[in-house]
Chain A
């Protein structure tokens, strides 16, 4: 399975600021996914990021709020822009596994917005 790391592991931010979360994979992957997991809730897909193309956002998520970069096959970033307390959540990146439909997840970034 792929080894995925995320930076930062946690952060406390002020309202109105932005935070960029990094996701690094130890192997080349085509598809990377960004999820949000709000306190006590399950995972919600934010967007799918393929290398060399624009990210595809799910309903309710927009590029201006969550810009994503995918500069190569092992790295991606998610920025949470103009943050509000409602953005407090765990943000997870994942990659597609070798078997169709399987995913491997990073450890997550715990964000608290004051």
Chain B
């Protein structure tokens, strides 16, 4: 069964304190791994797509990396506006559907 897990479940950081979120996956074949940001009361907002091990993507203070079994979302010098739930999802190579992880709730304190 395809599975996506994320850790930690919740993370509190001080402004400027860099850290990483983890997404581990178990799928028969990976078509792509996706990171989303979800603010309270809103739908998920697309951040990154990663397709192969070794790939990296960056956007402002966020950097996503991918290995064969997991992905990391690195947050450098976070600001309070980075507070949100970060979701990762995988799309398998044998279907079009997406399996979402449970998310990491990030709080950045000023």
- A residues with a Cβ closer than 8 A to B are 1, 4, 31, 41-45, 48, 58, 92, 94, 97, 99-108
B interface: dominant SS:
strand
Cross-chain contact A43 with B31 (CB below 8 angstroms): no
- Smallest CB–CB gap between B71 and chain A, Å? 14
Q: Which residue of A lies closest to B32 (CB)?
A: A101
Task: Give the CA-CA distance A97 to B32 in the complex, in Å.
Answer: 14
Cross-chain contact B43 with A48 (CB below 8 angstroms): no
B44 CB contact (under 8 Å) in A43, A44, A97, A99: A43
Evaluate whether A1 and B102 lie within 8 angstroms (CB atoms) in the complex, with A101-B32, A101-B34, A102-B34 already known. Answer: no
Say yes or no for B103: interface residue by CB 8 A criterion. Answer: yes
Give 30 A-B contacts (CB < 8 Å), ordered by A residue.
A42-B87, A42-B102, A42-B103, A43-B44, A43-B87, A43-B100, A45-B97, A45-B98, A58-B97, A92-B44, A97-B46, A99-B49, A100-B31, A100-B32, A101-B31, A101-B32, A101-B34, A101-B49, A101-B91, A102-B46, A102-B49, A103-B34, A103-B46, A103-B98, A105-B45, A107-B42, A107-B43, A108-B41, A108-B42, A108-B43
Q: How many contacts A-B (CB < 8 Å)?
A: 52
Evaluate whether A48 and B96 lie within 8 angstroms (CB atoms) in the complex, with A100-B32, A105-B44, A107-B42 already known. Answer: yes
Cross-chain contact B49 with A94 (CB below 8 angstroms): no
Task: Give the CA-CA distance A98 to B91 in the complex, in Å.
Answer: 16
The winner among A48, A97, A100 for most chain B CB atoms within 10 A is A100
Say yes or no for B101: interface residue by CB 8 A criterion. Answer: yes
Per CB-CB distance, the 4 closest pairs between chain A and chain B, nearest first, are A105-B43, A101-B32, A43-B100, A42-B100
Evaluate whether A48 and B97 lie within 8 angstroms (CB atoms) in the complex, with A103-B46, A105-B43, A108-B43 already known. Answer: yes
Beyond A99-B49, A101-B91, A103-B44, 13 extra complex contacts between A and B, CB < 8 Å: A1-B46, A31-B96, A42-B87, A42-B101, A48-B96, A92-B43, A100-B32, A101-B49, A102-B34, A103-B98, A105-B44, A107-B43, A108-B42
